[in-house]
Amino acid sequence: MCRLAAPQIFDLSDDDGHGYVLSEDVPPGLEEAVEQAARGCPEDAVIVTPS
């Protein structure tokens, strides 16, 4: 689950339980966590693109 892999970047909505992005900019040092979140997303809803 993306929130568990990168809680600084992803959270869950209280309304519907779906994940959402807190910040589209990945801080230095969190790149691997975000990549892990993308690989572990069961819905393939997380796509990481280099800036």
pLDDT at 17: 86
Task: Tell me the whole-structure pTM to 2 decimals.
Answer: 0.77
Are 22 and 34 spatial neighbours (Cβ–Cβ below 8 Å)? no
> Would you write out the chain's pLDDT as a tens digit for each of its 51 residues?
788 889 999 999 999 988 899 999 999 999 999 999 989 888 778 888 887
Matching residue, tokens 């069961």: 42
pLDDT at 42: 80
Are 20 and 30 spatial neighbours (Cβ–Cβ below 8 Å)? no
